[in-house]
Amino acid sequence: MATDSIASTLVFEPIPAGELDEIRAAGVDEAGNRLTPQPDPGGGNPLRCCLRETRPGEQVLLIAYAPPGTAGAYAERGPVFVHAEPCGGYATPHRYPPGLSHRQQVVRAYDQDGQIADGILAGDGEQALAVIQQLLARPDVALVHLRNVGYGCYNFTVRPG
C-alpha cells in the first residue's frame, strides 16, 4: 500500500488476545451465548483476532462483542468472527491490515466521550487509510472503528500512534 508511511503513525488494533482468552475460558461470549466452534465452509469472513479473512474450513467462533471507545446509546454489541483457538494475533499493528485492504469499509469516528463524531464510506484500504488520517487529525476524534458496509459489524479499531 502506497501510504504505509502514514499508517506507521497509527495503531491498528484487533480484539485483544487477553479478552479473547477470557471469553474462550468462560465458554460464553459477552452476551452469555455459549461458544460453539464451527468450520467456516466458504471462507472470506473477517477475523477480528488476526485481521485477515477466514480460509475455507477454518474453525471459528461467532461471538457477541462490544468494541472499545463507545458509550451510552453508541455502546454497541455485535457479532464478530474469531479463531476458535488462540492464534498469533495481528503482527503488524502500524500497518493497515493487508488481509482486509480489498474490503469496502465504513470508517466511523468516535469522540472522547464515546459518541459518534462522523462516518465515511471508503472503497478499499487505500481510501480508508486516507479517511482515517483525516478523521484522527480532528481534535474531536479520539479513535475510529472500521466496520463492514452490509451488516455494520465491527472489524477493528485505529488510534493515533
Q: Return the pLDDT at 137.
A: 97
Residue 161: which pLDDT band, with cuts at 50, 70 and 90? confident
Q: Return the pLDDT at 104.
A: 97
Residues in the chain: 161
In the chain, the amino acid numbered 146 is L
Whether residue 6 has pLDDT greater than 80: no
Whether residue 94 has pLDDT greater than 50: yes
pTM reported for the whole predicted model: 0.93
Whether residue 123 has pLDDT greater than 70: yes
Q: Is 74 exposed, middle or buried (0-12, 13-18, 19+ CB in 10 A)?
A: middle
On whether the CB atoms of residues 130 and 121 are closer than 8 A, the answer is: no
